[in-house]
Amino acid sequence: MAQKQENLSKNQKIVLDIIEKSAQPMKAYSILFNVQKKGLKAPPQVYRALDKLVEIGKIHKIESRNAFIACRNSACTIANATAFSICESCEDVKEISSSKLSKYLSNFQDKEGMKYNKYNLEFFGICKKCK
């Protein structure tokens, strides 16, 4: 089951809250700037919260953008199988939830038969609005 928000620490709640309110991925220092009025003054406070939230699957890191996005899936403990759609024009990012895709990738084996416990996939293109 998903970890409940009540189990989160104060700083973790603050950071998650601001990320959830953002439609788009947020950068760590943008988060920091936004939570300074709430008492989080230094980078480690933000990064610690981010680390934990990523770990429990409440947020995901968009690696190619060094930014963090809230997980909108109901079962958002799935921190180990993520896929995103990124518009290279407007930088709009959406999480892709395709059970077909996730099944395909979770079962993927390489030539030596190695299986993986985790993956991250980022698709790039131009979204409809930008076309």
Q: Which of 30, 73, 77, 85 binds a second copy (CB under 8 A)?
A: 85
Nearer to a second copy, 29 or 116 (CB): 116
Q: Which of 21, 36, 41, 80 binds DNA (CB under 7 A)?
A: 41
Q: Provide the 8-state DSSP code for 94.
A: E
CA nearest 51: which of 41, 38, 60, 39?
60
- As a whole number of angstroms, the distance between CA 98 and CA 47 comes to 29
Chain positions contacting a second copy, by CB under 8 A = 63-64, 80, 85, 88, 94, 96, 98, 101, 104-105, 108, 110-112, 114-128
